Amino acid sequence: MLIRFLHSTFCNAALFAGIVFCFMGYFIRRYPPKSIKSWYGYRSFLSTRSPETWQAANQYAADISRRIGWVLIVTGLAAALFFERQTDWFYYLTVGAVITGTMYMVGYTEWQLDQHFDENQP
């Protein structure tokens, strides 16, 4: 049974990553990291400049992560229904969606931080 599932089209990167993105977004939104030294949270050079940028970065990342998660889940389910087996194009579609979603989340969060916080801020 497990082997059949692993070889089916329903076992794909977009579906699993979408579930992880949704969980991560809801978790960080519900339990935001208290400080920059927390073991979880959105970490980058801009987000660790101050406590204000840390909170804003985690809020932006959590919101966009949930949205991307739902898009990835729908993409994974659509790919599973469209393809009969795991072909190269199936992998390109599902893994490409995960990579694109991750790059979008990071880019959007960094752009929001750059727009809302002064560059000279400590």
Instruction: Determine, yes or no, domain membership for 110.
Output: yes
Counting as low any pLDDT under 50, the low residues of the chain are none
Q: Could you tell me which of 90, 101, 73, 82 has the C-alpha nearest to residue 16?
A: 73
CA gap 72, 94 in Å, rounded: 8
Residue of 25, 30, 110 lying closest to 68 (CA atoms): 25
Whole-structure pTM value: 0.88
Position 86 scores a pLDDT of 86
Residue 31: C-alpha distances to residues 28, 68, 110 (Å): 5, 19, 21
Q: Is residue 41 part of a domain?
A: yes
Q: What is the pLDDT of residues 11-29, one digit of tens each?
A: 889 999 999 999 999 999 9
Is 38 a member of any domain? Answer: yes
Classify residue 60 by its DSSP letter.
Answer: H
What 3-state class would DSSP assign to 92? helix
Q: Is residue 121 part of a domain?
A: no
Q: How far apart are alpha carbons 5 and 33 in whole angstroms? A: 36
* Model pLDDT, residue 118: 74
Q: How far apart are CA 33 and CA 19, in angstroms?
A: 20
In a domain, 122, yes or no: no
Q: What is the pLDDT of residue 89?
A: 94
Q: Residue 72 belongs to what domain range?
A: 2-116
Distance CA 106, CA 64 (A): 9
Give SS3 for 68. Answer: helix
How many distinct structural domains can be found in the chain?
1
Q: What is the pLDDT of residue 122?
A: 53
Kindly state whether residue 47 falls inside one of the protein's structural domains.
Answer: yes
